[in-house]
Amino acid sequence: MRTIDDLDVAGRRVLVRSDLNVPLEDGRITDDGRIRASLPTIEALRARGARVVVCAHLGRPKGQVRPELSLAPVAARLGELLGADVAFAADVAGESAAATVAGLADGGVALLENLRFEAGETSKDDTERGAFADRLAGLADLYVGDGFGAVHRKHASVYDVPARLPHAAGGLIATEVGVLRRLTEDVERPYAVVLGGSKVSDKLGVIDNLLGKADRILIGGGMVFTFLKAQGHEVGRSLLEEEQLDTVREYLRRAEETGVEFVLPVDIVAATAFAADAEHAVVPADAIPADRLGLDIGPESGKLFASRLAGTRTVFWNGPMGVFEMEPYAHGTRAVAQGLIDSAADPGGGTTPHTPRNGAFTVVGGGDSAAAVRRLGFDEGAFSHISTGGGASLEYLEGRTLPGLQALED
């Protein structure tokens, strides 16, 4: 896979596929982590005299122009972070885009409107998708793939455009792939995986693949109730995927057979309703009242999880332990984040979490986990790596071929 160092970019139009899919509330960006993660590649290209044309998606407009999903606020924030003007095109690959790109000087940056305003971006029809890719590729001389959060999608800007232009991977994708290889091919042990989030079905492939690689798997979040039910416990009104019970029982059997340690919560924060102000209490994990629903792992579970992370050499975490957006149910997620930080600390008392030989190599697997780290006020630098691609990271760990990476390797 070539990198931007292999491209002659001076004076040339470089289309950069970034991941700028940030959360918005009333037109305001509430977490700019993905924009900040995109900066190094954009800045490196600018410094070498490229005319940088950034493209990205936001939300799921499904081929319709939806003003509330415009990338205009992202262009403004990108400009602030770069300390330079970012020209914004009012369309994706139309007259405004062509004029905006034509107006760029060497070192200039433009951002195109939301890719998914065009139906061809996500079309499953190769001809329709290819026609849009032709228009998009026509705006540039070179292509750089740097939107790791989208590489698991066979979309025009990710898969088809690289076939039409000389291409390379940006720094973000190169870093992400290097990290994921360390989680699958060159693993330092003991290796612990922490999985949370709402649904077991979202993590089935990861669990299946990691049963042969991880030393221990810690389960929290809404998905834990399917595991508890599979063991015969009452889960009340908690989130439950009945159709996955047999699969989960098989995973538990395989783990016991192969010596992989499954760690489940010993207590749960159970509430009367899905609300921050609902009555709630800590109950044993095997005795959740029938009229309550679990919204977080309990304090003893937080201590248990932290103890199982201590002494590890590699940790991958994807998915919160509870509804961290509500303070009463944020303690489990906070405990796991702190457990990763403590596992990465230098046993000799130093403060070099990025150096694996001093402690664990800790990876936060993007998505809600990364959002939780920022929302709960943790120092991002205390983790070895925070991924920008939750879904892409999971599919890589499942062993799947990712179309966006495949396109860059050709």
Asked if residue 198 belongs to a known ligand binding site, the reply is no
Asked if residue 249 belongs to a known ligand binding site, the reply is no
Asked if residue 294 belongs to a known ligand binding site, the reply is yes
Look at residue 367 and tell me whether its pLDDT is greater than 90.
no
Confidence label for 352 from pLDDT (cuts 50, 70 and 90): very low
- Respond yes or no: is residue 79 known to be catalytic: no
- Respond yes or no: is residue 199 known to be catalytic: yes
Asked if residue 390 belongs to a known ligand binding site, the reply is no
- The CA-atom distances, in angstroms, between 52 and each of 9, 39, 45, 99, 139 are 9, 12, 7, 14, 11
- Reading the block at residue 11, the tokens are 């004076």
Q: How many CB atoms lie within 10 A of CB 64?
A: 11
Asked if residue 63 belongs to a known ligand binding site, the reply is no
Look at residue 4 and tell me whether its pLDDT is greater than 90.
yes
Quote the CA–CA distance of 310 and 384 in Å, as a whole number.
16
Strands (E), 327-401: 361-364, 385-386
The pairing of beta strand 314-318 with beta strand 191-195: parallel
| CB within 8 Å of 177: residues ≥ 6 apart | 1, 169, 405
Asked if residue 58 belongs to a known ligand binding site, the reply is yes
pLDDT digits 0-9 by tens, 259-316: 999 999 999 999 999 999 999 999 999 999 999 999 999 999 999 999 999 999 999 9
- Respond yes or no: is residue 348 known to be catalytic: no
Q: Which residue carries 């900040």 as its tokens?
A: 36
The whole-number pLDDT of residue 345 equals: 66
The dihedral sign for the CA sequence 279, 281, 284, 285: positive
Asked if residue 19 belongs to a known ligand binding site, the reply is yes
Look at residue 346 and tell me whether its pLDDT is greater than 70.
no
Asked if residue 209 belongs to a known ligand binding site, the reply is no
Which residue type does 299 have?
Answer: P
Asked if residue 157 belongs to a known ligand binding site, the reply is no
Please identify which of the residues 220, 367, 389, 390 carries the catalytic annotation: 367
Asked if residue 60 belongs to a known ligand binding site, the reply is yes
Q: Are residues 376 and 336 in contact, defined by beta-carbon separation less than 8 angstroms?
A: no
pLDDT digits 0-9 by tens, 316-328: 999 999 999 999 9
Asked if residue 203 belongs to a known ligand binding site, the reply is yes
Please identify which of the residues 13, 34, 46, 154 carries the catalytic annotation: 34
DSSP one-letter code for 160: I
pTM (2 d.p.): 0.86
- Reading the block at residue 65, the tokens are 């122009």
pLDDT digits 0-9 by tens, 324-341: 999 999 999 999 999 999
- Respond yes or no: is residue 359 known to be catalytic: no
Asked if residue 369 belongs to a known ligand binding site, the reply is yes
Q: Which residue carries 């059997």 as its tokens?
A: 253
pLDDT digits 0-9 by tens, 184-239: 888 999 999 999 998 888 888 889 988 988 999 999 999 999 999 999 999 999 99
The whole-number pLDDT of residue 398 equals: 87
Show me where the domains of the chain are located: 4-173, 184-398
Collapse the DSSP code of 133 into the 3-class scheme (helix H, G, I; strand E, B; otherwise coil) and give the result. Answer: helix
Domains 4-173 and 184-398 share a fold: yes
The whole-number pLDDT of residue 349 equals: 39
Look at residue 353 and tell me whether its pLDDT is greater than 80.
no
CATH 1.10.238.10 fits 4-173, yes or no: no
Percent of the chain with pLDDT over 70: 96
DSSP one-letter code for 3: B
Confidence label for 402 from pLDDT (cuts 50, 70 and 90): very high
Look at residue 94 and tell me whether its pLDDT is greater than 70.
yes
Asked if residue 21 belongs to a known ligand binding site, the reply is yes
Q: How many CB atoms lie within 10 A of CB 332?
A: 28
Q: Residue 24 is inside which H or E element, if any?
A: strand 24-25
pLDDT digits 0-9 by tens, 134-145: 999 999 999 999
Please identify which of the residues 49, 94, 205, 391 carries the catalytic annotation: 391
Confidence label for 350 from pLDDT (cuts 50, 70 and 90): very low
The whole-number pLDDT of residue 355 equals: 43
Please identify, in words, the CATH class of the domain defined by 184-398. alpha beta
Please identify which of the residues 135, 199, 254, 374 carries the catalytic annotation: 199
Rounded to 5°, angle at Cα 379 from 350 and 215 = 70
| CA-only gyration radius of the chain, Å | 22
